[in-house]
Every structure is written in C-alpha cells, then in structure tokens.
C-alpha cells in the first residue's frame, strides 16, 4: 500500500526520515472524551473490543484528534487466552479476572491452539475496517502479548504486583510452563499473521511483565518464544517491547525484529550501545511527564529526541499513556516531536 505518511515504516526499516515519527501506546483510549463517549453507550470494555465497527471508530480517533503518525488497533492482549479457551472478564477498577485459571497438566491439555479466522475474527475484521477508513493516511499497527506475559495472567487469574503463582510454575513445573508457553506462541504466530493479512503494516509484541523475571529466567522462559514469533513474521516490521527487561537489551538485539521498545528506566545512550547501530529504538518518555506544564513537556521531549538522534528512532512514551492525562498535554508532546529539527551536522 502507498501511504500519505509512511514515516514510521521507514524509521522501523532503518531508513533516513525527514523527522522522527511519533505515536503512543494506549493512544486509542481513556484520555480522549470522544473515546469515553463511545464507552458510555456500551455494556463494558469487552463489547468495545469485540465489535469491529466500534473498535475501528476508537482506533481512528487519535489520527484526527492528536495527529499521530500511526494507529494501533483497539484490542487487548487477553483476546489470545480467550481464543484458546481461557476466558477473561474485565472488571471496572479491578482489571482482568480469569474465572478458570491454568495450573495443571489437565488445564494446559484442554487449551486449544486457536484459529484466528474462527476465534479472533472480530479483531481481523476491525483491522480491515480501519485500514479501509484510513485510506492510506497512516499505517496501522497490530499487536499481541508476549507468551510469558499471557502465561502470567492465565496462571495467576488476575493482575498482580509479583505474579508469584506464575513464577512458582517456572520453578516447580518448568516442563508444564514450557508446554503452556508453546501453545500460546503457536496461537500468537497464527494471530499475528492473520493481522498482517488483514492489513496491519507493523506489529508490536508487548512483554508487559518481563521485569518480574531474573535475567536467567527471561532467557529461558521468554526470549525463545519471542524469537519464534519474530522468526515467523517476515512480511512487516516487528517491535519488541519488554517493560522492565533492562537486563536483556543485548539479547534483544539478537532477535530478528526491526525495533526494540525502551521503557523510561532505560538510559538511551546505554541502550543504543547495548543494542548496537542496526536496530531502530522506540520510546521512551516517562508517561508521568505529561502531567507537567507544557513548557516542561517540550523541554524534556526535545532532550529525548537529541539523545536518540535523527535516525532509527520512533518517538513514544516508555509505557502506555495514563487515563487521567490531559489530552492537550499529549498534543504538546506530539507537536514537539513533529516540529523538532535535528542538527544533522
């Protein structure tokens, strides 16, 4: 497809760009009054995720309202466990809850490797609708959760600060953990391929709970499965974002992906040295900085852009934008990136 704005794709491929492209994790979400207006008409979060026309509507809002250089399909990483037969509920103010957790060999055996055309068609349909509505204005990003992060929710049954039940499985039943991780990986590969077929021009893998593992555990229980995903997706650029995995940046450099996402705890210069010159880096403004005054946001954003340099960088936050952030402050961040001119010597 020919895009009116393909900055993000060129940056991901490592090509020189006229300016740094910018988007935000969770940009199609609760910061926008227009999003909240859609939500108020519905029974809950899952209805929005599972209704392609509505998911398309809220996915498109940040292009018109914020001026970002890409959209990310409105969905959730937990659609994959649901497609595998491990359903979730999204409770207001509590987050996701799994009525039936995965703890035993029998639990893992009863999970299916999902068929995206059968079990996740609402996501691929939302992607097709959104790509049609975008009509080449900007690319659409598809996504999935990393297998280890999904294992955390499926075994714990809810969000957690420690995911001690999930980690217990890694220590006490590692073979079972690997079986579960492989089933999740097989489903995720099929799902991401279906997203590309539906029109996703880039993909991102979110390893949201990477930071709870030791470096050795991450090498054993997360990286090999992310590698399988990256090796299977060859048609579009893939970004790997592993929150808290500062210890794995060098290993991530060896993954066959185009972009490494950095959270705000990861020093930019150190990250570039560890990752090397070949990959694109994404990030990594602290989302809480957007609570500051506009002048502070501008200054910090400019400092971040200088630190990353003019090439092989996609500007983003170091995690998703928080729901109580002032949309006007978000616009200051985006406009600062779009108007910033690097000194190219």
Q: Which residues are part of the catalytic machinery?
A: 26, 30, 39, 76, 153
Rounded CA gap, 139 and 131, in Å?
A: 8
CB 279 within 8 A of CB 269: no
> Among 258, 44, 48, which residue's Cα sits nearest to residue 141?
258
Burial degree of 331 (CB within 10 A; 0-12, 13-18, 19+): middle
Assign 320 to helix, strand or coil: coil
Rounded CA gap, 181 and 173, in Å?
A: 12
Dihedral pair phi/psi, residue 143, rounded to 5°: -160, 165
Rounded CA gap, 146 and 143, in Å?
A: 10
Rounded CA gap, 117 and 331, in Å?
A: 37
Distance of CA 190 to the CA centre of its chain: 17
DSSP state of 50: T
Q: For 51-79, give the DSSP string.
A: -HHHHHHHHHHHHHHH--S-EE-S--TTH
Q: List the structure tokens of 336.
A: 């600062």
């Amino acid at each position: 497809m020919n895009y009116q704005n393909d900055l993000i794709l060129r940056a991901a491929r490592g090509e020189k760009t006229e300016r740094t492209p910018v988007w935000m994790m969770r940009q199609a979400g609760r910061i926008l009054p227009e999003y909240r207006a859609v939500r108020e008409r519905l029974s809950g979060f899952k209805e929005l995720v599972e209704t392609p026309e509505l998911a398309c509507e809220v996915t498109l809002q940040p292009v018109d309202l914020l001026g970002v250089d890409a959209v990310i399909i409105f969905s959730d990483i937990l659609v994959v466990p649901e497609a595998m037969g491990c359903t979730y509920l999204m409770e207001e103010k509590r987050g996701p809850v799994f009525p039936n957790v995965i703890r035993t060999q029998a639990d893992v055996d009863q999970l299916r490797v999902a068929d995206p055309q059968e079990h996740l068609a609402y996501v691929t349909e939302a992607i097709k609708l959104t790509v049609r509505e975008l009509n080449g204005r900007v690319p659409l990003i598809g996504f999935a959760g990393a297998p280890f992060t999904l294992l955390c929710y499926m075994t714990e049954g809810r969000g957690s600060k420690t995911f001690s039940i999930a980690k217990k499985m890694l220590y006490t039943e590692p073979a079972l953990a690997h079986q579960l991780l492989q089933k999740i990986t097989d489903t995720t590969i099929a799902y991401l391929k279906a997203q590309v077929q539906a029109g996703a021009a880039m993909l991102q893998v979110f390893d949201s709970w990477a930071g709870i593992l030791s470096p050795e555990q991450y090498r054993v229980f997360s990286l090999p499965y992310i590698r399988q995903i990256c090796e299977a997706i060859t048609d579009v650029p893939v970004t790997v974002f592993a929150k808290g995995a500062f210890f794995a940046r060098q290993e991530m450099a060896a993954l066959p992906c185009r972009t490494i996402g950095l959270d705000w705890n990861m020093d930019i210069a150190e990250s570039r040295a560890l990752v090397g010159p070949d990959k694109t880096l994404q990030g990594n403004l602290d989302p809480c900085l957007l609570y500051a005054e506009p002048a502070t946001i501008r200054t910090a954003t400019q400092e971040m852009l200088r630190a990353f340099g003019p090439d092989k960088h996609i500007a983003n936050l170091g995690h998703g934008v928080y729901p109580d952030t002032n949309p006007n402050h978000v616009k200051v961040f985006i406009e600062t990136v779009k108007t910033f001119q690097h000194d190219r010597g």
